[in-house]
Each structure stands twice: as C-alpha cells, then as structure tokens.
Structure 1
Amino acid sequence: MRVNWFYGHEEKDSQGMLIAESFVLLNLPRSGSSFSRTVIQRIYMERFHRRNPLIPVSVLAGALGLQKKLLTKHGFPMNFRELMLPNLQEGNKYQRGQHGGWSQIPRKYLNREVVSIIRNPYERTLSGHRHRWWARHPILGSDVLSAEFPQFPNLSFDDYLRFQDLGLARRMPNGQRPDANVGPQTVQFIWMFFKNPKQTLETLTDEYLDSDRIFDDIADVTFLQNERLSDALAGFLKRHGATDDEVRYVLTHKRVNASKSDGAKQDTTWTPKWVSYVREKERMIFRILASRGFFYTPPLTSVG
C-alpha cells in the first residue's frame, strides 16, 4: 500500500536543492520543480520505509527536517537530502531557500548528474504574474511603489512587467542596472545555472548575450521540459534506477503547486510590445534552450 506523505511547497518552507544518490535537482521557480520534488521525495521515502518498516510513518513524514537528522544519527541512512543554501540573488531578504544554484553545489556532489526543470519563458512570465509572490514580497521600496505603482499590489500584466523591469537592479550582484538589454528571467537563469554567475553578471553586455560564450559558461545541467514533465521525469528517473512501479507513479501523479490568483483581478492580455520585451530581453534563454532542442512560439497578441 502506498503511504501518504505530506510536504509543503510554498516559498515560506525551508527547502533546499534536492540531493539524491545519483543526481542533484535544482529548483528553478515557477517551472514545475514542486511536482518533481514531490514525486522524488515520496519515491525515496517509500524506499526507506520498505527497508525500515518499523519506523512510524508519522516520523518518516517529516524526515526531511529534524526527524531525518535523528534517523540518520541512529543508523538509518537516507539516500537523499535537502541542502539549505544562502539566496545568492540580491534584493531578497530571505537568506536561505529552495532555489540554490549550480555554483553552490558542494564539490563532492558534482560528479552526479545535475537536473532542473525548464519552462516556456512566455508562460513563466504569465505564471509569475498569477502567482503573486511579488505582491506579498515586493522587490521595490515603498517610495518607488508609491510613485510608480500607486495601485500596488493590484497590477495589470502590463504594470507587472514594468515592475519587474524596474526591480532588475536589485537582482544584480552590484545593485546596479546592467548595461545589457536583459530581463529578470535571464538574470535568474545565470544565477541558477552558470559556473561563475557573479562574475558573469558583473560584466554582462549585449555582445556577450549574443555570443557563443554563453554555451561555455553554462554548467553541465540536464533540462527537463515542463510541457511534458511527467514523461520527461519518468524517463530521467528510469535512467537512475526507478522501478516500473515508481515510473507509473510519476506518470499518474497530478501536478502540484499550479499557479493560482490570490483573488486580485488578473489582466493577462499579451500585446506586441510585451511579446517583444520577453523575446528580446530573455533571448539568451531562448538560444540556450533551442540548442537543447526546446523551441517556443510567441503567444498570440491583442490587436494594436
């Protein structure tokens, strides 16, 4: 019988990168990592439960935290762990969280395959607006919000994209807007997946973003596509020894932590201006994903 484990996946939870016995999962926000984390954690916890059936399920259900440390201390080895890491991105008051980057992986784990979930940059933009993490934890100061967005936090999609653009400096290592024509997803992507993200961002130029040097500077990361995540994750875990039953579990598990509005009116009409904004400012991501065989069509726009 399958055991029901309970995990939370909101930003308030203290969760780090997931380190399994043969791979490391990095969690790119709003990409599908919550689904991946949930099924991987449950697979490993059930494996542990089968090896140690006398340990109460109530203890195992919380084994990613203190209980896990106690279990390991008393001779019950766990084959995966959550690694808590400082948040590298500026402008975020949360010191530790679930979105550690490749450059933070301890050296002893770099011989394992590193995997992450990627998503259509247009859809990630839309998901970010709907999820409204920015409304609860604004990256801009109150003075800027009052001057530029007096209606905050009730931002239209158009205002949200301008809000993100104004907050870009807070995501940079030096706190200054970059000279390059770059968007927030690209800055985050560099923090997450580049070998030397701080150095890359400090010297960022348009010439660099359009060059092939980006392919040398990105780390060796396997990307699974959000749009076919169940199949992609099942295949990945199969390569890493998942049983047929575990593969079926991945394929039949419902998606988790889907974007939802907190009640504010959502205006998510794409205009040619904002399609161009995402296409141009996040062009580095599109180039890297295209090199992996992932191509994305711009969304339909309203007239005008």
Structure 2
Amino acid sequence: MIITRDFVFIHMPKTGGTFVHGIFKQIVANYKQEHPVKWYMNRIGYKLNLIAPVYQKLTNVEYYEYPNNDVTGQHAGVSFIPGEYKKLPVISVKRDPAKKFISAFYYRWWERFPTLSETHLKGLFPNYPNISIEEYFDLEYNHVLKRFFSADFREDIGVMSWQFIRMYATDPMYVYKNITKANFPEIVKTHFKNVDFFEMEQLSSEFETYIRSTSFDEYADYFKTEKRIYPPGSNNKKRPESLSEEFLEKIKTKEWILYTYFPEYNV
C-alpha cells in the first residue's frame, strides 16, 4: 500500500505493483534531492500525524489474508487504509485472471511459503513440489481455501475472487459469506470501495497519464519506460502463456466474481 497526499495505491499481488513501487523509489530519490526542505518538513509533519505524506510505502500493515491467517506486509486492502486517509481516491491495477493465475503458478510463492504441511502436501501430490498447473489449481482451490475457511468455505468462490474481495471490499468476510450472482450489483454498490483500476498491459502509459493530474506531475515521464521491474524470486524464463479451453472454463466458473466485475476479460 502506498499513501500520498493525492491518492492511496492498493497493491494487488501479481498485477505490476512492484513496477509501481520501483518507479516511485526513483521519483522519491530525486524529489528529496530537488526539494529537500519540502521533503523533510513533510516527513516531520507526517511523523507527528499532522499532514498527509508526500509519499509513504506501508510495508508493515497488520491484516488478514484468510480468517485465521494474520499477516504483516504491503498487500493490505481498502479496509485497512488508515482512518485519516480513507477519503483519498484509491487506485489499483487489474489483470486478466487467467494470466494472473499462470503468473502465480510460475512465481511459486506456494512452494517457498507453503500453507499446508509437507506431509499433507506429499499425501495429496506425491511428486510435490513438482506439480502441474492443473495440480496447482487443485491445491489452491480445493485444499488451501478449504483449510483456511473451514466451515465458511464456499465451493463457488475461487482464490483470486477471495483475494479481490479481501483487497477491495470494506467488509471482506461479510461479502465472502453473502455475495451471490443475484445480489452482485447491490453488494458491489454498498460494500466495495470505489477504485480506479489501471490495466496491467498498459500500466506504464495509464499510470503516466494519471500522475500528470497529481502533485507528482513533474515526474510523470518516469513511467514512460519499457523496463520491467520484477519482485524478488521471480522466474522470468519463457513459459506457456495459454490454457486449454476446458481449463480456462474451470477458472471462469470459480472466478465468476472477477469475470462479472471485469467483463472485458470474459472473452
């Protein structure tokens, strides 16, 4: 999560947030050199809780990823925006759910930080961690979510849809328990924060355009770059970027919330 005096940026994993953080790191370094007095006066005011920061990356927000899995990090959702900044505009990034699923599989966070015991994982998948993308789907959708949600587990809501709810709903657990296809419009209207989403495939240009409307206007050109900034641990080797139609339909069925919210991906 990034807090500025102009907006709050919510960092949804695997949607280019590391790129945004990387560019702002360059911007802040130059801002401090070019406007040292403004920067340090602002830092003092922010530390005293008197004014909004020019820029502040929040990496130690305590939030929940699942009902019984409290974590501390940078991927907190809108319900964890500090009270004094809740009225600021919120921006974030959207991504084709199928591509996000593929990216999560190859990023292999699930291998480096498993949520099930090794014994349990080996019992489910004897060759673990050498599992296929189809087995990864089974692991995440049919085992990990079920363990964490326990009695509240819903067969019809997938991993990425829960993540979306967690990031952008004002009361995530209420939404998870109550959202249906029938009440979807009303739930979105009353329980989701109004967020401006940039398309990951055009993130550089769309972010540049947006920044020109903020106090960072003089640094908008920093986003005019083809440079990719990857999170630590990324596997950037060539990999398949398509799924079978049958497998894609499985994802669409589980992730109906995302495909309803972003119908442009439902093609």
Match of 1:248 in 2: 221
Q: Distance in 1 between matches of 2:145 and 2:100?
A: 16
Aligned to 2:93, what secondary structure does the other structure show?
A: strand
Q: How much does 1:250 deviate? A: 0.8
TM-score relative to the length of structure 2 = 0.84
Q: Distance in 2 between matches of 1:158 and 1:139?
A: 18
Q: Residues 133 and 185 (structure 1 numbering): CA distance in 2 closer, same or farther, change over 3 Å? A: same
Q: How much does 1:261 deviate? A: 3.1
Q: How much does 1:204 deviate? A: 4.6
Alignment check: 8 A CA contact 2:90 2:194 kept: yes
Among 75, 97, 111, the residue aligned to 2:73: 97
Alignment check: 8 A CA contact 2:4 2:53 kept: no
Match of 1:128 in 2: 104
Count of matched residue pairs: 256
Match of 2:202 in 1: 228
Q: Is the counterpart of residue 114 in structure 1 residue 79 in structure 2?
A: no
Among 166, 172, 193, the residue aligned to 2:168: 193
Match of 1:147 in 2: 123
Q: How much does 1:109 deviate? A: 0.2
Match of 2:2 in 1: 18
Q: Distance in 2 between matches of 1:269 and 1:231?
A: 25
Q: Residues 198 and 87 (structure 1 numbering): CA distance in 2 closer, same or farther, change over 3 Å? A: same
Aligned to 1:151, what secondary structure does the other structure show?
A: coil
Q: Distance in 2 between matches of 1:132 and 1:92?
A: 22
Aligned to 2:222, what secondary structure does the other structure show?
A: helix
Q: How much does 1:251 deviate? A: 0.8
Alignment check: 8 A CA contact 1:180 1:204 kept: no
Match of 1:279 in 2: 252
Q: Is the counterpart of residue 296 in structure 1 residue 265 in structure 2?
A: yes
What is the RMSD computed on CA atoms of the aligned residues? 3.0
Percentage of pairs with the same residue:
23
Q: How much does 1:239 deviate? A: 1.2
Q: Distance in 1 between matches of 2:171 and 2:8?
A: 18
Q: How much does 1:253 deviate? A: 5.4
> Which runs of 5 or more structure 2 residues have no equivalent in the other structure?
none
Q: How much does 1:182 deviate? A: 1.3
> Which runs of 5 or more structure 1 residues have no equivalent in the other structure?
1-16, 61-67, 299-304
Alignment check: 8 A CA contact 1:18 1:24 kept: yes
Alignment check: 8 A CA contact 2:65 2:71 kept: no
Alignment check: 8 A CA contact 2:6 2:215 kept: no
Alignment check: 8 A CA contact 1:18 1:82 kept: yes
Match of 2:185 in 1: 212
Q: Residues 139 and 204 (structure 1 numbering): CA distance in 2 closer, same or farther, change over 3 Å? A: farther
Match of 1:3 in 2: none
Greater helix share, 1 or 2? 2
